Every structure is written in C-alpha cells, then in structure tokens.
Structure 1
C-alpha cells in the first residue's frame, strides 16, 4: 500500500509492506516467529536534512496487553522503552519495522496503529504533528493458525481518539489534532 502525505510544501509517500515471516533468522528473529507478520513502512520525501526528519508513533491493542485488548498501549522500540519520547523510530525518512511474535500460539488478536509524524524544530514545545497513519496486525485462532490483518489507512478520527492516552503517557509532549488538509 502506498499512502501519500504532505508536509508544508513537500509531497511524500509511505510504502507499507506486510508479509508473513518465512525465514525468521533473516530478520533477526527466533524460529518461533515463523508465520507471524513482518511490517515495513518506508518514507519517501524529497526534503533534505531537518525537512526530512520524521518519527513513527505506534500504539498496539492486543488481547494480551495491560487492558486485555480493551485499549491501545504505546509500542516503543524495546531498546528505548524507558525513553520519554513517543516515537518508536525517529530520523531522516525513518523506516518503521516491526515483526511481532509470541513463543506460544495461544488465541490472540493484535492490532497496531502506526502514525508518521513530525516535530517542528523551531517550536518552544515538543509537539507531535501527525501526517499519515495505517492499521495492521494479526490474529491467532484456537487452531493456532495465524492470519494477517489487511493494512488499512487511518484517519483524523482514529488519531484524535488516541489523544487523551498520548497526552497522559507523554506529559512532556503536545499532541496536535490531525489538521484538515494534511490527509491526502
């Protein structure tokens, strides 16, 4: 799936690929990850330097999370899960990569909301402005079969529903509503 976005006067796109893991070692995972999903979202934006600086905010709702699937939680990159930043990945045209798996294949529903955003460098507050978002995930049924959830574009309504949680989770940051016109 290719999802276009605009930031200021720049037109960019995110290319999302969701595939089933058939060689866990090739992506640095344990053999038990075989059959689970692998998501890659690549940013293509013609900006240079700071104008190409973006971050990925990812939230996950899973039947094995702290709310038993009733709510979304932050999904930070595990090496930085104690960092006070809402971004799981951040950099110049950063690629989101995630390959969730479980050692046991118990029944499970797992859904991610992944958002590309940016933070203005000239603002006095650390502000997160969303640009584009998509949903993806997987389910494990009672027969231990893994099915991938189709990638779907998210909207301002989806982002705005996360704002109370984001503000509570990262009180040192300001999370803007998704501005009209920033969606393609």
Structure 2
C-alpha cells in the first residue's frame, strides 16, 4: 500500500509492506515469531533537515490487551515504554518497523492503527499533527495458524476516535485533529 500526504506544501508518501516472518533471527526476534507478520512503513518526503522530522504513533487493539480487545492501547517501542512520548519511532523520514508475536500461540485478534505525524519545533507546546495513517494486523486461529489482516488506509475520523486515549496517555502533549493538506 502507498499512502500520499502533504506537509508544508510538499508531497510525500508512505510505502507499507506486511510480510510473513520466515527468519526471525534475521530481524532480531525470537524463533516463536516465525509465521507472524512484520510491518515496514517507509517515509519518502523531500523536505530537508528538520522539515523531514516525523514520528510514528501506533495504537493496538488486541484480545489480550488491557480491555480484552474492546479498545486501543498505546504501543510504544519497548525500549522507551516508560517515556512520556506518543511516538514509537521518531526521526528524519523514520521507518516504522513492527514484528509482534505471541508464545504460546492462542486464539487472538491483533490490530494496529499506525499514524505518521509531526511536531512543530517553533511552538512552546508539544503538538502532534497527523499526516497519514494505516491499519494492519493479524489473527491467530484456534489451530495456531496466523493470518494477516489486509492493510487499509485510515481517515481523519479514525484518528479522532483515538484522541481521548492519546490525551489520557500523554497529558504533556497536544493532539490536534487530522486536517489533510490539499
């Protein structure tokens, strides 16, 4: 899937690839990851330097999360899960990479909403402005087989549904509505 976006009048894109993990060691994961999907989202944006600073905000709804699959939780990168930032990845044209797995394999439904966003550096508030989003995930059947979900584009209404959770999880940040540039 390729999603296009605009920021500051410049056009960019996100290319999303979901692949089955055949060699867990090659991606730095435990052998139990074999057969689960991994997701890579690559940002292509022509703005130079700080203009290309973006971050990935990812929320996950899973039948084994805090709400038993009724709602989404923040999905921070494990090294920074105690940091008060909404971003799982941040940098110049940052790549999102995720390879979730479960051991043992039990019936499970796992869905991620991943949003590319930016934070203006010239403001006193730490503001999150989304520019693109997509959904991906997988299910594990009673037989232990893993089936990926289709990747689909997310819309501003999807982001708006997450605003109460984002604001509660990261009270030091301001989360704006998603207003795509023309």
**Structure 1 counterpart of 2:68:** 68
In structure 2, the residue matched to 1:122 is: 122
Which residue matches 1:153? 153
Confirm whether residue 27 of structure 1 aligns to residue 24 of structure 2. no
**TM-score where L is the length of structure 1:** 0.97
Q: Deviations over 1:84-141 (max 9, x none)?
A: 1000000000000000001111000000000000000111100000000000000001
Figure out how many residues of one structure are paired with residues of the other and give that number.
Answer: 182
Q: Which runs of 5+ in 1 are unaligned?
A: none
Report matched runs for 1:18-57 at 5 Å: 18-57=18-57
User: 1:174 and 2:174 equivalent?
Assistant: yes
Secondary structure of the structure 1 residue equivalent to 2:50:
helix
What SS is found at the alignment partner of 2:69? coil
Stretches of 4+ aligned residues off by more than 2 angstroms: none
User: 2 CA distance for matches of 1:163 and 1:178?
Assistant: 10
Aligned to 1:112: 112
Q: CA deviation at 1:143?
A: 1.0
| C-alpha distance in 2 between matches for 1:143 and 1:38 | 20
Distance in 2 (CA, whole Å) between partners of 1:40 and 1:167 is 26
| Distance in 2 (alpha carbons) for counterparts of 1:124 and 1:131 | 21
2:140 aligns to what? 140
Deviation at 1:9, TM superposition (A): 1.2
Report deviation, 1:8: 1.1
Q: Secondary structure at the match of 1:142?
A: coil
1:97 maps onto 2:97 in alignment: yes
Report the Cα offset of residue 30 of structure 1.
Answer: 0.8
